[in-house]
Homo-oligomer: A and B are copies of this chain.
Amino acid sequence: MNDSHRHGCNGRTAAQTPSDPHAAGDPAALRDRIAQAVRDVRATTPLAQSFTNFVTINLVANAQLAAGGTAAMSFLPDDVIDTSAISGADYINVGTLLPFYKEALPQIARAFHQSGHPWVLDPVAAGIGATRTAILTAFKDYPPTIIRGNASEVIALCDMWGLGRQDDGVSGDEHPSTRPAGVESVDDVESATDAARRLARHMAPLSPGGQAAVAVSGKVDLVTDGDRIYRLPGGSALMSKITGAGCSLGGVTATYLAVAEPLTATLAASLLYNRAGEIAERLSDGPGSFQVHLLDALWNLTPEQVAASEIVVAR
A128 — nearest CB in chain B belongs to which residue? B82
Provide the residues of chain B in CB contact with A76, threshold 8 Å: 97-99, 129, 131
Q: Is the CB of B287 within 8 A of A62?
A: yes
Provide the residues of chain B in CB contact with A284, threshold 8 Å: 296
Q: Is the CB of B66 within 8 A of A286?
A: yes
A274 at the interface (CB under 8 A from B): no
Provide the residues of chain B in CB contact with A71, threshold 8 Å: 55, 183, 243
Report the bound CA distance from A295 to B291 in whole Å: 10
A285 — nearest CB in chain B belongs to which residue? B296
Of residues 262 through 285 on chain A, the ones whose CB sits less than 8 Å from some CB of chain B are: 284-285
Known: A47-B184, A58-B58, A97-B74. A289 touches B286 (CB 8 A): no
Interface centre among A56, A85, A241, A244 (most CB of B within 10 A): A241
Report the bound CA distance from A125 to B71 in whole Å: 12
Per-residue B-contact encoding for A91-105, CB less than 8 Å = 1, 0 else: 000011111100000
Provide the residues of chain B in CB contact with A300, threshold 8 Å: 285-286
Q: Is the CB of B129 within 8 A of A79?
A: yes
Provide the residues of chain B in CB contact with A287, threshold 8 Å: 62, 65-66, 295-296, 299
Residue in B47, B56, B99, B297 whose CB lies within 8 Å of A100 = B99
A292 at the interface (CB under 8 A from B): yes
A61 at the interface (CB under 8 A from B): yes
A14 at the interface (CB under 8 A from B): no
A65 — nearest CB in chain B belongs to which residue? B241
Residue in B73, B242, B295 whose CB lies within 8 Å of A62 = B242
A288 at the interface (CB under 8 A from B): yes
Report the bound CA distance from A82 to B97 in whole Å: 14
Complex A-B: 12 CB contacts under 8 Å: A58-B59, A70-B182, A73-B96, A82-B128, A82-B129, A83-B180, A83-B182, A87-B182, A285-B300, A286-B296, A288-B292, A289-B295
Please provide the 10 A-B residue pairs with the shortest distance between their CB atoms, ordered closest to farther.
A288-B295, A286-B296, A79-B129, A286-B299, A61-B243, A288-B292, A288-B296, A78-B129, A285-B296, A78-B130
Chain A interfacial positions (CB closer than 8 Å to B): 47, 49, 53-59, 61-62, 65-66, 70-76, 78-79, 82-83, 85-87, 95-100, 125, 128-132, 180-184, 240-244, 284-289, 291-300
